[in-house]
Amino acid sequence: MIIQRVVLNSRPGKNGVPVAENFRLEQSTIADTVQAGQVLVKTLYLSVDPYMRCRMNEDTGSDYLQPWQLSEVADGGGIGVVEQSKHENLAKGDFVTSFTWPWQTVAILDGSVLQKLVPQLVNGRLSYFLGAAGITGLTALLGVREKGHVAVGANQTMVVSGAAGACGSLAGQIGRLEGCSRVVGIAGTDEKCSILAQEMGFDAAINYKKGNVAEQLRELCPGGVDVYFDNVGGDISDTVISQMNQNSHIILCGQISQYNKDVPYPPPLPPDIEKIQKERNITRERFLVLNYMDKHEASVLQLCQWIQEGKLKVRETMVEGLANIGAAFQSMMSGGNIGKQIVSVSK
């Protein structure tokens, strides 16, 4: 069977900025029949995520991420429909997902690595299982619960950087649902800030490309910052940390501003900011959603309930066609999209 697939064409280099040309679309072939325990799936949706930037390097800098190999098919979160099955728990027509879905139109996969999906849980929006009801939503929810120390009635203020992105847009809403009394986002355009405030329930949003971020933070968070959901690192985070309260908490989710730089993860703070962190007893611990596998099932059900009830607003940037996944990756890394970046492969 002839298929299309996307392989890693070149590496941007540790300090390089990814471009669409780092990926290559090519034709390949797979077997027409499946073996015992396998399924043949047609790919419907693929997820494009910031962590994938690390996989473009020969060394990911992480013990839980494997690098993509040159001229080999890339992979990540994906959703598809079963077309042939020789796995006892999967049948033709089932919708399934995996964290290691190959970037190709059709694939033969080991059925044991696939999770069956129930479309009704997300009102039929299957792609949500790659975002708000998937690993992205889990990262936001478990990050807030495990590292944010949010308490109902504690009058806490949360700040979210990268707030219009896939994780940040959910984290701010979840912070509110979990008990924060004030939520302020930081994003890079007026459009994004407007969506956060008018659609997603943030109290306010700061366009970091306009005006003085420190001054705006002081105005919008007069009582200081109690919880910081950090998606970006760098200067923005230094500014937020300098306004955090005693015994406050940083949820160290991502450091996208640092991903194209050859620095350790998490990147060290500048000496003056590190001093503030220590003096104010601000927690800043590495957070990995994979360390909380025992809480995934219940957390996904919570996310789905909020989606069904309309309490969690979801934004996706949908790109059509496997051929455009490289461009989608480049756009996501440049901060050009709102919400989760999804590539629709097949209808």
Judged by average pLDDT, the poorest of 16-25, 261-270, 275-284, 331-340 is: 261-270
**CA atoms of 201 and 182, how far apart (whole Å):** 10
Is the per-residue pLDDT at 312 higher than 90?
yes
What are 92-134's pLDDT values in tens digits? 999 999 999 999 999 999 999 999 999 999 999 999 999 999 9
Closest-CA residue to 1 (of 33, 26, 46, 38): 33
CATH number of 135-290: 3.40.50.720
With bands split at pLDDT 50, 70 and 90, how would you rate the model's confidence at 255? low
Indicate the pTM of the whole model. 0.90
**CA atoms of 84 and 32, how far apart (whole Å):** 10
Phi/psi at 161 (nearest 5 deg)? -95, 160
Provide the 10 A C-beta neighbour count for residue 293.
9
Is the per-residue pLDDT at 271 higher than 50?
yes
Report, as an integer, the average pLDDT of 177-187: 97
The per-residue pLDDT for 264 is 53
**CA atoms of 166 and 154, how far apart (whole Å):** 27
Q: Which residues pair with 108 in a beta bridge?
A: 40
With bands split at pLDDT 50, 70 and 90, how would you rate the model's confidence at 41? very high
Q: Is 340 left (phi over 0), alpha (psi -120 to 50) or beta?
A: beta
Half-sphere exposure at residue 188, Cβ-oriented, CA atoms within 13 angstroms = 15
CB-neighbour burial class of residue 104 (10 A; exposed 0-12, middle 13-18, buried 19+):
buried
Looking at beta carbons, which pairs linking 64-67 to residues 24 or more positions away fall under 8 Å?
Answer: 64/288, 64/290
- The reply to whether 2-131+315-344 and 135-290 are identical in fold is no
Judged by average pLDDT, the poorest of 40-44, 139-143, 260-264, 310-314 is: 260-264
Rg of the Cα trace of the chain?
20
Is the per-residue pLDDT at 263 higher than 80?
no
Judged by average pLDDT, the poorest of 118-127, 313-322, 329-338 is: 329-338
Per the CB < 8 A criterion, the answer to whether 273 and 249 are in contact is no
Is the per-residue pLDDT at 20 higher than 50?
yes
Report, as an integer, the average pLDDT of 25-30: 96
Fold of 2-131+315-344: Quinone Oxidoreductase; Chain A, domain 1 (3.90.180)
What are 152-169's pLDDT values in tens digits? 999 999 999 999 999 999
Is the per-residue pLDDT at 187 higher than 90?
yes
User: Which residue ranges make up each domain of the chain?
Assistant: 2-131+315-344, 135-290
Across the chain, what does the average pLDDT equal? 92
Positive/negative CA dihedral, 214, 218, 219, 221? positive
CA angle 294, 102, 77 (to 5 degrees): 35
The per-residue pLDDT for 65 is 85
Report, as an integer, the average pLDDT of 326-344: 88
